[in-house]
Structure 1
Amino acid sequence: MNAPARIAIIGMGAISAIGEDVSSNHQSLRTSSPGIGPIRHLDTPHRGRLLVGEVDIANDELAERLEIPANEAYTRSTLLALLAAREATAGIDLGDGNRTGLISATTVGGMDATERYYDDYLVSETHRHFIPTHPCGYSTEQMARYLGVTDFVTTISTACSSAANAIMLGARMIRAGLLDRAIVGGTDCLSRFTVNGFNSLMIYTDGYCRPFDEHRSGLNLGEAAAYLVLERSEPAARQSKTPMAYLSGYGHANDAFHQTASSEDGEGAYLAMKQALEVAGLEASAIDYINAHGTATPNNDLAEGQALLRIFGNVQSIPPFSSTKAFTGHTLAAAGAIEAVFSVLALQHQEIFANLNFSHPIAALGIVPQTTLLSTAINHVLSNSFGFGGNCSSLLFSSAHD
């Protein structure tokens, strides 16, 4: 295989139900401390019944931390995004003359404001300044103004693979010579629409999600934001920035099977992982850890498991894998980014994080995830993100010391 043209990761930031920054997220992963619990902030009839991965900070406090005036129209997805992006870009001079792009993913966009103020829009002007915040792209534009990014700004919305595709696009643009640097990732807050939607599909569990367990009964939704800063590896080295890790491969395919379900043999997932390995110039045997999509729905875990068996050949050849969604909940458009941060943390600290709430392997698969924190040598991590509409994406991260 050809030698990989790697992309350096020189910054990252994250906020989720298990931490307000990268360090606190890592601490929760290390101590197997999940963030799934009762709904506290979201105004929904499901409060007291469904569990979520909620960031326990009100919007007013988020805006105060960002020094955004209270009368400006910033929705929760944008506020979470700005906190994560600010952490990711700390110590990086975005005005240094390098062509910098911002590629942000979201599916909720400003929906949380729309559903809260929709009726009020008709009778009062008080909240009408939130009307323009509804489209997904508005959030990215606000981020770009806040960060001072002007060279390239765009939004990705491909369901639960959105952030992975944003990361992938940033890497491809850098490799094509269109950008020198890319801030990439995703954000989604909880909303009544998404909670109601997944509940109506009957894939929202009444308890805690159980990824890859025979008795899994559905997901818990969560909210999060995470961003990585990518640069071509050579300029990053010349500027004396030490890469945290490398994005060495990526792949995207469409299952082309169903609007919301994956095919039983996981064709799209298989093709995405296969392409990521090919881009990285690696054999499947080189993968040391898989951060699985693992939503804990009956369909996803079976399909992803079948795809893993196809890629690695048999149960014994599958490397340690886990889904971290039992920590954060399924964060939709942010999932690929928050789990990219977790993948980099795995490489930096040589740790595989636990797949919580597992007790019985799926009978049709026989595969068993890693259920406790494992310290081991890790050089390459595969991270999967699969979305509605058949959108299947895989990212491959490699150690900065391999």
Structure 2
Amino acid sequence: MGRVLVTGMGMISAIGNNVRENHESLRAGRSGIGKVAWFESLYASQLPFGEVRMSNEALKAAQGLESAEGYTRTCLLADKAFTEAITDAGLTLGQLSSLDTALISASTVGGMCLTDQLYEDANHKSEGSEYLESYGCSAHTLKLIKRYRIKGFTDTINTACSSSANAIMLGARLIRSGRVKRAIVGGVDSLAKYTVNGFNALKILSDAPCKPFDMNRNGLNLGEGAAYLVLEAEELTAGKKIYAEVAGFGNANDAHHPSAMSDEATGAIRCMHEAIRSAGITPGQIGYVNAHGTGTQNNDQVEFFGMGELFEVMPPYSSTKSFTGHTLGAAGAVEAIFSILGIANGELFPSLNVSEPINGSENAPVTAFQGNYTLNYVLSNSFGFGGNCTSLVFAGVN
């Protein structure tokens, strides 16, 4: 099996409209969590969110989609990040249409970001809007397939918060097995009444910017965004810029609770161990963990416990959700790109808002940006509802 290498990246989030802007915000410690401008909800004025700083009209103009119909905000965010990724990798139209190229995307809310319009259409309170075929989780994927004439293997994954991490894992497995030579992988989610009301019902939304791994954490902030990576078999990458290698991956389910992780961290420990094992390394070689780190009581305690069980010495770790909010189906890909930026540039990005670290200062997360830091292997965690836990290992390349 040859190596699976990352040759292109694209993203949009609350801290930037492209990879460069996101990187600058991470370096500057600049969070995107705050008041919203475009999202309309009862909670818009009551809670902070990680909202992308572009309106739908601006997104359409940027992507040349002014006259296109049926594009929800989810579709628009996906198109923006996807275009950046394939441009970064220098993919041609022929390569996009090749049967050796796969597209695997992910989303949890999909077109249900148009919650009110969905209600009108579903209950025959409208004459039928342009979005009738846009409400499913796969609607954005179908738009990408049609616009970019993708003919190879395609799929859309919804495993809650681990969705796009699983898209990356599936893409890497397809390449390793020789079924495809190239895979464009990632995910997207936009703010929606559907998800905001659901998370509010669980009583896990914070009324202030989240503080993952702080003793006084009181919940998460929902965010939106999209991120895609171009993965290619090593034999295709001669002369290309290579960001990192997808070295390992693991997926497990602790089958404990619909929306909480088991106190024993069963799924978390197993998926981290499997990712490290499949990378052919030992836990001690992990130089940094981009933690799932939602800022809820359950998640942070369980994840911290799981890392303590796996590592003899706790490596540096942090949660970049304190910058972007929890982007749900996009989170795994967003944080994969952040992990790769850390490797490629020798940097550690902090958990923001931590004043009283969980379990004492000796095991505190990274709380300030660190440059000139050599990273060979990074572990990125994504733990979803239902206990679907996925970990990815990224490695530097020479």
User: TM-score if structure 1 supplies the norm length?
Assistant: 0.95
What 5-or-longer segments of structure 2 have no aligned partner? none
Deviations 1:267-289 (A, max 9, x none): 11110010001110000111111
Structure 1 residue 367: Cα displacement: 2.4
Distance 1:282 1:55 in 2: 37
Distance 1:365 1:106 in 2: 36
Distance 1:364 1:15 in 2: 34
Q: Give yes or no for contact 1:114–1:134 (8 Å, CA) kept in 2.
A: no
Q: 1:349 aligns with which of 345, 348, 352?
A: 345
Per the alignment, residue 205 of structure 2 pairs with 204
Given residue 184 of structure 2, which amino acid in structure 1 is its aligned partner? I
Map residues 62-101 of structure 1 onto 2, 5 A cutoff: 62-70=59-67, 72-90=69-87, 91-96=90-95, 97=98, 99-101=100-102
Structure 1 residue 362: Cα displacement: 2.1
Per the alignment, residue 392 of structure 1 pairs with 389
Q: 1:37 aligns with which of 28, 34, 37?
A: 34
Per the alignment, residue 323 of structure 2 pairs with 327
CA gap 1:379/1:71 in 2 versus in 1, 3 angstroms: closer
Superposed CA RMSD: 1.5
Distance 2:314 2:142 in 1: 41
Per the alignment, residue 233 of structure 2 pairs with 232
Distance 1:15 1:377 in 2: 26
Please say if 1:374 is aligned against 2:370.
Answer: yes
Map residues 74-153 of structure 1 onto 2, 5 A cutoff: 74-90=71-87, 91-96=90-95, 97=98, 99-119=100-120, 122-125=124-127, 128-153=129-154
Distance 2:68 2:94 in 1: 28
Q: Give yes or no for contact 1:384–1:395 (8 Å, CA) kept in 2.
A: yes
Which stretches of structure 1, 4 residues or longer, exceed 4 Å deviation after superposition?
none
Per the alignment, residue 271 of structure 1 pairs with 270
Query: SS in structure 1 opposite 2:247?
Result: strand
Query: SS in structure 1 opposite 2:188?
Result: strand
Map residues 190-201 of structure 1 onto 2, 5 A cutoff: 190-201=191-202
What 5-or-longer segments of structure 1 have no aligned partner? none
CA gap 1:200/1:74 in 2 versus in 1, 3 angstroms: same
Structure 1 residue 57: Cα displacement: 1.0
Q: Give yes or no for contact 2:99–2:152 (8 Å, CA) kept in 1.
A: no
Distance 1:236 1:148 in 2: 23
Per the alignment, residue 11 of structure 2 pairs with 14
Q: Give yes or no for contact 1:305–1:365 (8 Å, CA) kept in 2.
A: no
Distance 2:218 2:356 in 1: 13
Query: SS in structure 1 opposite 2:132?
Result: helix
Q: Give yes or no for contact 1:114–1:131 (8 Å, CA) kept in 2.
A: no
Distance 1:244 1:334 in 2: 20
Deviations 1:8-54 (A, max 9, x none): 00000010000000000000000000000012211101121100000
Please say if 1:297 is aligned against 2:293.
Answer: no
Distance 2:116 2:396 in 1: 43
Deviations 1:157-181 (A, max 9, x none): 0000000000000000111111110
Per the alignment, residue 318 of structure 1 pairs with 314
Distance 2:102 2:304 in 1: 35
